[in-house]
């Protein structure tokens, strides 16, 4: 294979990054890794291309290096490439450092027993020792930065590795005067924190060990990383292991103080990272008082940087009143409130500040369940500036409404001034929606109503007014029925003891039944029926007015003639709910009149039949039996006979019959039938004599003939997967559906199987494949079927692998061709593949030993379907595999003195890795002695 150019590699790397599994379906990870390493070693490849080639190592190192052994070998190769690069290739060197780090960490190769890991860590440490670029010059600035980041990454994944080099790292940090000072600082504080964590796990006093660690300047602590340290939340102070010290450690205190004093020189992101590490250090060392952060509080609380504020909140949560006084806490809260309304901040930042208020870590919290709660210091006076207005965006408006509702809920219950303002804001949104507001404003309004009710549903004054306003809104905009029904459902879920949903439904019912029939349009009537259907589900609402309204509409309007099936179903849904209503006895006659009128006058036959069915149930069954037939019972036995209601209900009744159920375990499997494979092709008959050129030309011409296609048909047995539920012993109307995992094949057609019984011979399933590229693939299979009880089921089958040898087919030549003509075609194809440009065709050699076996017997057992010719005296055999749509693999097999030689020629070089794997699998079965 020739070296790929930059554009081709760009396309391949992009394809790999977008979908690694699909990319590797046409090749193997091992061959792709080999290609990458070969290209990286090639001096002709540009530096930019090599940087691009390292991308897969950074994004998916475990795919390319699935085992520690492969990871170690790859790291050795990349480190060798790094050592051979000139000094000017700094960008490539930086990327190589990151790639090697990624491979070593992800393949668990960071160990003293792995030579490349030891060498690479020594290289990183040697690189960062050139402080201020005195030795190699300022061009090595970015290389040192990358080396620090790599060491930091390794220390993060393997805590304690730098625990014996703290003094050396501290001196490097002090000597560095370039902007890399903060990178050295972060590396040092990470090593310090992990060292203290290791000491905290030791029993007994750690004074001597701590001083020794701070003065350490030895090698890497390989023994320290043998026992991994688990991450923990700094705020969970009860889970932090504490270092037992008997004396005040002045050295550590001096280091922490100096780091805090220098922190303002760092960028906000680096400051936040430093503070998080220092918080853990102080929390773990008893000798260090949280008051060491006191000098930084004013600067941190007053910051406008989100990252720093988040670190400050973490500090507040960890140390509470050990560091923050009541005055500090009060100032902090006021700062958050003022920033939550700052005009120069973005919406996302303001929402963050309001979220900080709702989750503010108080010194003495009333509750510690982690849910949203109002800090005691947030009073109505303080939060007045956060009152919502209609000029706020939707998210800010809802967040402010929720915050202020909490504020006024905790305030004096006799003072409704604040709650009145919030209710006035909800009414303002009502007016906007009433004046044909946008869809976003409609959603915001109903969310505001929900938020208001969750806090103040007990206040009858506001809930009554809210009921009136929503009823008036519905009277003018009945298309809001789904929003109102959804609001009622959510309120009932969250507030089970609230009577407001029932009051609203009663108000809507009264509004609808009092509408004049002449003013009802078919479109509006659909919304009214949807609301009445929801009203009919409530046992606390009287249904007499609903039935009177339905009968009046059926008699005095054109509903029976023009309503259609949809409107009729809406009416019958109300009737079905009333059949299960506790007050059925009081509305028996009215319901019978409605059903009788529908069955006699409604134009739709299905609606008539369903009304007749309901009428029969109503007049012939007792109330208990009626409830038993219509109610959707529990799923006690999946094989139980369905109730009749499942055939006629609009929604929940139909679910058991029409819903496709999902099996919990795999029920079916496809078992391949060994040594069976068919091919389907349009054969051409040839009776003429041809010279060499004509034979090859005729062969290629058939591929362009109209209707010529080649399909591979694989056979499988469809069986049950061992012991399955008795429900699945008899399956009917099975539909197998196959999904492709790559783009190398045409879509596989669905396969129908009439039935499958547990104790009978399994049916044979033929899967028809039409390749676009002859590569191995995997088919994802699933099945739909019906069980004996009439329920439909869906199950996922195990993936169906299609191997490379499954695609092998005999040479597609006319059936009347002689053996001589086939051999002539073989020779012509071999010559063409050997002489063509190497960008498509390729030749190769494979050898294997046969021991005491005879070559003719091996050929007969392994290659007989594809054998073109054989010369037994010379032990020369010619084999050809045809791979649709029109690729070939030609083999000439000869027996040499020491081994059997298989010469390979193909018109698609991408097939070589699969050919090699196939020949290895075939010859592996041959005993060598």
Task: Indicate the range of 109-123, 244-258, 377-391, 903-917 predicted with least confidence.
Answer: 244-258
Is residue 468 pLDDT above 90, yes or no? yes
3-state helix, strand, coil in the chain (%, to 5): 55, 10, 30
Sign of CA dihedral 560, 563, 569, 572: negative
Nearest to 95 by CA among 124, 64, 126, 55: 55
Pick from 87-101, 566-580, 589-603, 840-854: least confident: 840-854
What the block records as the tokens of 517 is: 């029939």
Using alpha carbons only, how large is the chain's radius of gyration in Å? 39
Would you say 85 and 100 are in contact if contact means Cβ atoms under 8 Å apart?
A: no
First to last CA, the chain: 36
Question: Which residues, in sequence order, are CB contacts of 855 under 8 Å at separation 6+?
Answer: 875, 877, 893, 895, 900
3-state DSSP assignment of residue 742: coil
User: What share of the chain has pLDDT > 70, as a percent?
Assistant: 89
pLDDT tens by residue, 676-687: 555 544 444 444
| Top-confidence range, 43-47, 481-485, 884-888 | 481-485
Owner of token pair 């550590």:
252
Please identify which residue in the block is written with the tokens 């509750």: 367
pLDDT band at 369 (very low <50, low <70, confident <90, very high): low
* Angstrom distance (rounded) from CA 672 to CA 654: 38
* pLDDT tens digits, 48-96: 999 999 999 999 999 999 999 999 999 999 999 999 999 889 999 999 9
d(C-alpha 104, C-alpha 98), whole Å: 10
- Tell me which of 126-130, 415-419, 420-424 is least confident: 415-419
Give me the helices (H) in 837-929, please.
855-862, 912-924
Res 242: pLDDT: 82
Gap between the Cα atoms of 5 and 8, Å rounded:
6
Measure the CA–CA gap between 923 and 851, rounded to whole angstroms.
Answer: 11
Average pLDDT over residues 35-51: 92
Q: Is 204 left (phi over 0), alpha (psi -120 to 50) or beta?
A: left
Q: CB 655: neighbour CB atoms within 10 A?
A: 12
Q: Taking the CB of residue 458, how many other CB atoms lie within 10 A of it? A: 13
Q: Is 54 left (phi over 0), alpha (psi -120 to 50) or beta?
A: alpha
Q: How far apart are CA 108 and CA 593, in angstroms?
A: 78
Least confident of 35-44, 214-223, 769-778: 214-223
Q: Is the pLDDT of residue 654 over 50?
A: no
Q: Which residues pair with 784 in a beta bridge?
A: 735, 794
Which residues, in sequence order, are bridge partners of residue 711?
680
Alpha carbons 731 and 785: distance in angstroms, whole number = 6
Average pLDDT over residues 550-568: 88
Residue 644 has pLDDT above 70, yes or no: no
Rank 201-205, 527-531, 915-919 by mean pLDDT and report only the highest. Answer: 527-531
Tokens read off for 238: 């009860």
Non-local (6+) Cβ contacts of 596 within 8 A are 611, 615
Q: How many whole angstroms from its chain centre is CA 197?
A: 34
Q: The dihedral of CA 61, 65, 66, 72: what is its sign?
A: negative
Nearest to 762 by CA among 672, 639, 666: 672
Mean pLDDT across the chain: 85
Q: How many CB atoms lie within 10 A of CB 816?
A: 11
Partners of residue 786 on adjacent β-strands: 732, 792
CB 853 within 8 A of CB 861: no
Q: Which has the closest alpha carbon to 804: 712, 903, 900?
A: 712
Residues 855, 858, 864, 870: what is their CA dihedral angle, to the nearest 10 degrees?
0
In this predicted structure, the answer to whether residue 634 has a pLDDT above a threshold of 60 is no
Residue 406: name the closest of 426, 386, 431 by CA. Answer: 386
**pLDDT of 811 strictly over 60:** yes
**pLDDT of res. 653:** 44
Span 339-356, average pLDDT: 92
pLDDT computed for residue 690 by the predictor: 53
Q: How far apart are CA 412 and CA 576, in angstroms?
A: 48
**Which of 57-66, 72-81, 224-233, 603-612 has the weakest average pLDDT?**
224-233
- pLDDT recorded at residue 65: 93
pLDDT of residue 639: 41
Share of the chain above pLDDT 90, in %: 44
Helix, coil or strand: residue 757: strand
pLDDT at 145 over 90: yes
CA–CA separation, 46 and 53 (whole Å)? 11
pLDDT of the residue at 416: 76
839: burial class by Cβ within 10 Å (0-12, 13-18, 19+)? exposed
Per DSSP, helices labelled H in 158-290 are: 166-175, 181-200, 207-214, 250-262, 268-284
Is the full-model pTM beyond 0.95?
Answer: no
Which among 401, 438, 443, 444 is positioned nearest to 423, based on CA atoms? Answer: 401
Strand order in the sheet with 764-769: 668-681, 710-720, 764-769
User: What is the model's pLDDT at position 371?
Assistant: 60
Q: Compute the average pLDDT of residues 29-52.
A: 92
- The neighbouring-strand residues paired with 661 are 793
What is the rounded distance in angstroms from the CA atom of residue 187 to the CA atom of residue 191? 6
DSSP 674: E
Q: Would you say 876 and 895 are in contact if contact means Cβ atoms under 8 Å apart?
A: no
Query: Does residue 276 register a pLDDT over 90?
Result: yes
The per-residue pLDDT for range 701-746, each reduced to its tens digit, is: 877 776 667 788 899 999 999 888 888 999 998 999 999 888 888 8
Q: How far apart are CA 599 and CA 615, in angstroms?
A: 9
Helices (H) and strands (E) in the chain, counts: 38, 14
Question: Which among 252, 235, 255 has a CA at the least distance from the CA of 315?
Answer: 235
> Cβ distance 893 to 872 under 8 Å?
no
Torsion angle (degrees, nearest 10) of CA 527, 533, 536, 540 = -60
pLDDT at 656: 55
Region 588-616 average pLDDT = 90
Strongest mean pLDDT among 110-114, 235-239, 634-638: 110-114
């Amino acid at each position: 294979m020739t070296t790929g150019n930059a554009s081709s590699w760009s396309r391949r790397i992009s394809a790999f990054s977008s979908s690694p599994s699909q990319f590797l379906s046409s090749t193997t990870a091992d061959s792709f890794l080999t290609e990458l390493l070969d290209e990286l070693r090639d001096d002709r490849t540009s530096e930019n291309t090599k940087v691009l080639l390292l991308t897969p190592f950074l994004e998916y190192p475990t795919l390319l290096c699935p085992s520690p052994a492969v990871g170690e070998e790859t790291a050795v190769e990349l480190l060798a490439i790094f050592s051979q690069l000139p000094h000017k290739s700094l960008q490539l060197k930086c990327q190589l450092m990151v790639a090697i780090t990624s491979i070593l960490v992800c393949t668990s190769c960071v160990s003293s027993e792995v030579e490349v890991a030891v060498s690479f860590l020594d290289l990183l440490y040697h690189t960062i020792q050139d402080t201020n670029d005195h030795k190699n010059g300022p061009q090595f600035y970015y290389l040192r930065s990358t080396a620090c980041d790599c060491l930091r990454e390794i220390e993060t994944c393997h805590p304690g590795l730098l625990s014996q080099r703290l003094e050396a790292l501290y001196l490097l940090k002090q000597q560095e005067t370039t902007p890399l000072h903060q990178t050295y600082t972060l590396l040092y504080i990470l090593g310090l924190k992990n060292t203290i964590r290791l000491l905290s796990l030791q029993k007994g006093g750690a004074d001597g060990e701590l001083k020794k660690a701070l003065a350490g300047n030895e090698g890497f602590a390989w023994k320290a990383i043998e026992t991994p340290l688990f991450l923990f939340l700094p705020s969970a102070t009860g889970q932090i292991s504490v270092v037992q010290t008997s004396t005040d450690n002045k050295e550590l205190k001096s280091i922490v103080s100096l780091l805090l004093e220098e922190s303002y020189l760092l960028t906000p992101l680096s400051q936040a990272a430093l503070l998080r590490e220092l918080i853990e250090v102080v929390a773990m060392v008893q000798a260090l008082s949280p008051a060491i952060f006191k000098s930084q509080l004013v600067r941190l609380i007053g910051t406008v940087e989100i990252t720093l504020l988040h670190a400050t909140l973490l500090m507040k949560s960890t140390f509470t009143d050990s560091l923050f006084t009541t005055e500090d806490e009060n100032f902090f809260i006021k700062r958050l409130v003022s920033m939550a309304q700052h005009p120069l901040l973005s919406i996302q930042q303001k929402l963050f500040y309001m979220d900080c208020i709702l989750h503010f870590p108080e010194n003495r919290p009333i509750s510690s369940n982690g849910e949203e709660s109002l800090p005691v210091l947030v009073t109505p006076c303080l939060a007045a500036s956060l009152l919502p207005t209609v000029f706020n965006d939707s998210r800010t408006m809802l967040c402010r409404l929720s915050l202020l509702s909490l504020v006024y809920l905790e305030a004096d219950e006799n003072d409704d001034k604040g709650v009145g303002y919030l209710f006035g804001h909800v009414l303002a949104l009502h007016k906007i929606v009433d004046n044909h507001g946008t869809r976003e404003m409609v959603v915001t309004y109903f969310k505001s109503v929900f938020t208001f009710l969750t806090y103040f549903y007990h206040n009858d004054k506001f809930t009554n007014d809210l009921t009136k306003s929503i009823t008036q809104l519905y009277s003018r905009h009945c298309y809001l029925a789904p929003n109102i029904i959804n609001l009622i459902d959510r309120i009932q879920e969250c507030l089970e003891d609230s009577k407001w949903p029932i009051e609203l439904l009663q108000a809507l019912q009264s509004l609808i039944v009092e509408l004049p029939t002449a003013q009802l349009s078919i479109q509006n009537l659909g919304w009214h029926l949807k609301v009445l259907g929801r009203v009919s589900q409530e046992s606390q609402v009287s249904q007499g007015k609903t039935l009177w309204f339905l009968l009046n509409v059926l008699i005095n309007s054109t509903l029976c003639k023009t309503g259609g099936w949809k409107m009729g179903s809406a009416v019958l849904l109300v009737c079905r709910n009333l059949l299960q209503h506790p007050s059925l006895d009081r509305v028996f006659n009215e319901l019978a009149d409605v059903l009788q009128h529908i069955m006699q006058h409604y134009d739709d036959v299905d609606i008539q039949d369903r009304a007749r069915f309901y009428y029969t149930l109503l007049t012939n069954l007792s109330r208990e039996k009626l409830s038993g037939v219509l109610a959707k019972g529990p799923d006690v036995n999946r094989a139980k006979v369905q109730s009749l209601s499942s055939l006629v209900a609009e929604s929940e009744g139909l679910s058991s019959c029409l819903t496709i159920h999902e099996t919990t375990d795999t029920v079916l499997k496809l078992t391949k039938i060994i040594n069976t494979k068919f091919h389907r092709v349009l054969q051409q008959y040839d009776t003429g004599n041809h010279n060499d050129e004509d034979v090859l030309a005729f062969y290629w011409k058939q591929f362009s003939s109209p209707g010529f296609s080649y399909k591979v048909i694989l056979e499988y047995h469809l069986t049950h997967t061992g012991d399955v539920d008795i429900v699945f012993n008899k399956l009917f109307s099975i539909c197998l559906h196959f999904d492709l995992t790559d783009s190398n094949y045409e879509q596989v057609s669905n396969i129908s199987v009439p039935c499958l019984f547990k104790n009978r011979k399994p049916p044979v399933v033929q899967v028809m494949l039409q390749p676009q590229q002859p590569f191995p693939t995997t088919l994802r299979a699933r099945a739909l079927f019906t069980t004996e009880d009439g329920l439909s089921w869906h199950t996922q089958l195990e993936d169906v692998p299609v191997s490379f040898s499954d695609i092998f087919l005999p040479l597609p030549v006319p059936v009347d061709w002689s053996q001589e003509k086939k051999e002539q075609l073989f020779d012509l194809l071999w010559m063409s593949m050997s002489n063509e440009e190497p960008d498509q065709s390729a030749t190769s050699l494979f050898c294997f030993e046969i021991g005491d076996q005879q070559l003719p017997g091996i050929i007969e057992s392994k290659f007989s379907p594809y054998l073109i010719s054989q010369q037994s005296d010379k032990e020369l055999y010619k084999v050809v595999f045809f791979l649709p749509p029109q690729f070939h693999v030609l083999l000439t097999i000869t027996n040499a003195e020491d081994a059997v030689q298989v010469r390979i020629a193909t018109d698609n070089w991408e097939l070589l890795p699969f050919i090699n794997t196939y020949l290895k699998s075939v010859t592996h079965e041959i005993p060598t002695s």
